[in-house]
Structure 1
Amino acid sequence: MTLDELNALPAAAAEDSLLACCASRRWAAAVAGGRPYEGLPALRDAAAAALDGLDWADIEEALRAHPRIGERPEGRGREASWSRREQSGMDAAEERVRTALAEGNRRYEERFGHVFLICATGLGAADMLAALERRLGNPPEAERRIVRGELGKIVQLRLVKLLGRETEG
């Protein structure tokens, strides 16, 4: 899809497309409602502003669409495909690292009540595990800020993918 095509979609179709970037309905409606966008920077700025305006319930809605780190996303949709590529650093992970991630995910979810979220693009399994272990000690409010930031990174990368670009150029 091009930016012109996104700009031209009916509101509901634009929201559906944007949900692959962030599964918060409120976020998708805000970004779709800001069209037309002059270029990718304007779209990215609007996406960041919309994310900043979400309350925690909206963030939790978005988190429910993200697979646990180390688990292969099921499905054939755009979001599942992107998640598989984003977590490709897990492909060569040793069994001990996979086991530690599974246990860390369980402990994280018990502590914070939602999936551990990290922008996994470019990270190896050991990097993700180290971040998970480090973040388990965070106070809940600090962790919420980190999660919002990680979601923002993922959204920015996915907007580029949505527009059919693998890089920003």
Structure 2
Amino acid sequence: MGSAFDEKDYLACCGSTKFAKEMVSAGPFSSYDHLVNAARDIWFNKVDVNGWLEAFAGHPQIGQSPSSSNKTPISAQWSKGEQSTALATATDSSLQELSDWNTQYWQKFGFVFLICASGRTTSEILAELKKRYLNRPIIEFEIAAKEQMKVTELRLFKLFSNVTTAASANNAEYSAGVASKAEDRMSIVGAHLTAVSEKPTGKPSQIPARTRPPITTHVLDVARGSPAAGIEVQLEMWKGNQPRPVFGDKDVGSWIFRGVSTADKDGRSGQLINVTDVVNPGIYRISFNTGKYCPDGFFPYVSIVFEIRESQKWEHFHVPLLLSPFSFSTYRGS
């Protein structure tokens, strides 16, 4: 039997009315995976800009009380819990600095600085705020939307696990098992969603199996303000005589084909590489057939070269392309 929730439940997880209504329509859900896959699709493909901003507005500034801005009591409670590490590690001076930077961020972007704060210290959050403040608005808007989804996934699991445990209350032994599994899953989800750039020596003890390829991309046509549907994408890995290509070296070596795909209507590429927990370290190149997509543009094709280090082989690499006829840019997304 699937779990059904109402709009109020979903508003507690994500403050977008459109998101809540769409989730009710898509339910009931038979599992957490079913639930979160629907949530991702709705958030990224069905909720518009106004819905994103509505959800952003439901969050307090990091370091401030959530009571005045959250729409439901449970979301206020969750916000407080998510910020507990930050508040526990804060000092008067760090809170003041965080407040000052929050104000600068709002003035530049027009919405609250959003980050999945669970397990992060004040200094970590402040460092990330300063780093993201340098982003262009279009890039920061997308990053904020992804951070919102991280928070939403964390809260959806709390919602789902609470109902699952309550439904099993008549069987004490089974209920205890569900609660134990919920705690394990909660720590895994939390660690996954709040992971920062670290250098692990081996496989993390709490990391879920991948549900998507370790390398992904999407293409946004910034001149049109829409996804670049239909653009051809190819992934290659360096296998030359040198361990890595050297700038200006005449011996270019060889690039080994790994996968090819075509961007869908949302500008997202299909599977360029197999879904695997560990990605092979090395130098990768994603190439986009921009000449075919935009024959009158300046670029016959665009290639983005990046490195995955040994310490990063458990991480996810999202390498988007922001394209116009006479310019392009990229960044490492999540």
* TM surpasses 0.5: yes
**Are 1:149 and 2:146 matched, yes or no?**
yes
- For residue 106 of structure 1, report the CA deviation from its aligned partner: 0.3
**Are 1:64 and 2:81 matched, yes or no?**
no
Specify the alignment match of 2:117 in structure 1. Answer: 120
**Are 1:77 and 2:69 matched, yes or no?**
no
Specify the alignment match of 1:101 in structure 2. Answer: 98
Q: Deviations over 1:141-162 (max 9, x none)?
A: 1001100110010000000111
- For residue 168 of structure 1, report the CA deviation from its aligned partner: 2.7
**Are 1:15 and 2:12 matched, yes or no?**
no
Judge conservation of contact 1:160–1:166 (CA < 8 Å) in 2: no
Specify the alignment match of 2:185 in structure 1. Answer: 168
Runs in 1 of length 4+ with deviation above 6 angstroms?
Answer: none
The runs of 5 or more residues in structure 2 that have no matched partner are: 163-181, 187-334
- For residue 91 of structure 1, report the CA deviation from its aligned partner: 2.1
Distance 2:157 2:28 in 1: 16
Distance 1:57 1:150 in 2: 17
Judging by fraction of residues, say which structure has more strand: 2
Change (3 A) 1:111 1:166: farther
Distance 1:160 1:166 in 2: 10
Q: Deviations over 1:49-68 (max 9, x none)?
A: 11102221111000111000
Specify the alignment match of 1:50 in structure 2. Answer: 42
TM-score (norm 1): 0.89
How well do the aligned residues superpose, as a CA RMSD in angstroms?
1.7
**Are 1:40 and 2:29 matched, yes or no?**
no
Change (3 A) 1:129 1:112: same
Distance 2:67 2:140 in 1: 27
Distance 1:98 1:71 in 2: 9
Specify the alignment match of 1:30 in structure 2. Answer: 22
- Structure of larger gyration radius: 2
Judging by fraction of residues, say which structure has more helix: 1
Distance 2:36 2:82 in 1: 19
SS of structure 1 residue aligned to 2:61: coil
Tell which has more relative contact order, 1 or 2 (C-alpha 8 A, sep 6+). 1
SS of structure 1 residue aligned to 2:185: coil
- Give the length in aligned residue pairs: 161
SS of structure 2 residue aligned to 1:118: coil
